[in-house]
């Protein structure tokens, strides 16, 4: 597989300059960071949440987990993890577990943790388990300028 078509089209539409980084096949964002020789704090991972009003994509560093209560309070919603089997319909051009963190490209509300904005470089899944998109920090901040932001994650111990 290559870069997800929806992702590629969105990046072109937004005029974002990016680089594709290949790595051995991995099963988690932490494994991806190791395989690509990238700090885990620079890997942006997507976590899909839902409630009765629909889906939300939360974007956090690979080294963090979401504080669901904090995020729910911030968004005034009762969010929970989305059911995995439903995600293939939402991201039909991506492999399971390799969803790019650009909910905007898929018409999904997106909230990004502020810890990512401090990174000089950001990497994220390109739609499969063997490629990452690399952006410099300024491109990442530009890309997420219209997304909701907040502090809703903490470092995995």
Task: Write down the pLDDT at residue 27.
Answer: 87
154 DSSP assignment:
E
pLDDT tens digit string along 49-96? 999 999 999 999 999 999 999 999 999 999 999 988 888 899 999 998
pLDDT tens digit string along 104-146? 999 999 999 999 989 999 999 999 999 999 999 999 999 999 9
Predicted TM-score of the model (pTM): 0.95
Give the start-to-end residue ranges of the domains of the chain.
Answer: 5-155
Is the CATH number 3.90.960.10 carried by domain 5-155? yes
- Is residue 1 scored above 70 in pLDDT? no
Within a 10 A sphere around the Cβ of 83, how many other Cβ atoms? Answer: 9
- Reading phi first (left if > 0) and then psi (alpha if -120 to 50, else beta), residue 83 is in beta
């Amino acid at each position: 597989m290559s870069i997800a078509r929806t992702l590629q089209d969105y990046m072109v539409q937004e005029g974002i300059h990016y680089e594709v980084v290949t790595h051995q096949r991995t099963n988690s964002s932490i494994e991806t960071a190791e395989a690509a020789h990238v700090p885990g704090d620079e890997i942006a991972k997507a976590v899909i949440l839902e409630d009765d009003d629909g889906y939300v994509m939360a974007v956090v560093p690979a080294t963090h987990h979401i504080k669901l209560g904090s995020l729910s309070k911030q968004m005034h919603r009762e969010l929970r993890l989305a059911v995995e089997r439903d995600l293939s319909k939402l991201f039909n051009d991506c492999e399971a577990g390799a969803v790019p963190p650009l909910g905007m490209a898929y018409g999904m509300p997106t909230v990004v943790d502020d810890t990512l904005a401090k990174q000089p470089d950001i990497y994220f899944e390109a739609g499969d388990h063997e490629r990452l998109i690399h952006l410099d920090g300024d491109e990442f901040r530009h890309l997420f300028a219209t997304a909701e932001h907040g502090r809703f994650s903490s470092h995995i111990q």
